[in-house]
Amino acid sequence: MKLLIFGPQGSGKGTYASRLAEKFGLKKVTAGDLLRAEIKKGSEIGKIIKPYVEKGELVPKEITVALVKKELEGAENFILDGFPRDIEQAKELDKFVKIDAIIKLNAHEEILLEKISARWICSNPSCDGNYNTADIHKVIEGIEYILPPLLPKKDLICDKCGSKLVQREDDLNIEAIKRRLKIYEEQTKPVIEYYKKKGIPFVEVWMNRPVDVVVEKMVEGLKKIFGNKI
């Protein structure tokens, strides 16, 4: 199963990608994590991309494409998160892989802003622990959001590996957040249309309920595409 997951920043894409990866034994490849790992290592690439990531701008295509391509080499079953972000990247991806299905998460901007500023991630780069302190109960344009917080068992400590939890610098910069949401609207949404035109099956879900409920809806959608054997 070769899956892509799309959703605006703050929609919980990373969390859903992890849950589906666990459930179906998929390799999870997250473009943002690959880039942040380079920055943390202080590699040559890391030095080049740091200012882009801090400002919430897309890093040069050649760098992201090369990192993602290397990660996907030989993977038969994967879920790719955060890539492709624009049509150019989608065309590059088409050159080396054929996607079977796409998951798309929907949410209103007001909810995303609340979720992003309340997000805490594990400081250990090889752990994908991800938490959120926002407690949201509201209705927007007929969509009822019931989103309880996702808290660690011990304050500011990752349940999975015991490392400290931190906030991402670009999550604390309101200008960067708005830029990332604008890039999604202007550059990433056309990618979704690009894949729809190609006839790739989509599973489209609102992230308006606790994670387990939304995961269940995704699984149901995937079963309609791949059959009950998955």
102 binds ligand AMP (CB under 6 A): no
Nearest Cα neighbor of 163 from 132, 134, 131, 133 is 131
Site mask for ligand AMP (CB under 6 A), range 48-87, x = bound: ----xx--xxxx----x-----------------xx-x--
Q: How far is the CB of 168 from ligand AMP (least distance, A)?
A: 8
In terms of CB distance, is 193 or 216 closer to ligand AMP?
193
- CB contact set of 221 (below 8 Å; sequence gap of 6+): 103, 203, 204, 205
In terms of CB distance, is 117 or 219 closer to ligand AMP?
117
Under rule CB under 6 A, how many of the chain's residues touch ligand AMP?
A: 17
Q: How far is the CB of 171 from ligand AMP (least distance, A)?
A: 8
Determine the Cα–Cα distance for residues 11 and 208; give it in Å rounded to an integer.
9
Q: How far is the CB of 48 from ligand AMP (least distance, A)?
A: 12
* Helix (H) / strand (E) containing 44: helix 44-55
Determine the Cα–Cα distance for residues 147 and 58; give it in Å rounded to an integer.
29
Q: How far is the CB of 181 from ligand AMP (least distance, A)?
A: 10
Q: Which residue is nearest to ligand AMP (CB)?
A: 32
Per-position DSSP letters for 119-172, written without gaps between them: EEEES-TT---EEE---EEEEETTEEEEE--B--SBTTB-TTT-PBEE--GGGS
Exactly one of 3, 21, 29, 31 binds ligand AMP (CB under 6 A); that residue is 31
In terms of CB distance, is 53 or 122 closer to ligand AMP?
53
In terms of CB distance, is 177 or 218 closer to ligand AMP?
177
Tokens of 46: 């890391």
Determine the Cα–Cα distance for residues 219 and 33; give it in Å rounded to an integer.
24
Burial of 1 (0-12, 13-18, 19+ CB in 10 A): middle
10 binds ligand AMP (CB under 6 A): no
Q: Give the binding site for ligand AMP (CB under 6 A).
A: 9, 31-32, 35, 52-53, 56-59, 64, 82-83, 85, 89, 170, 180
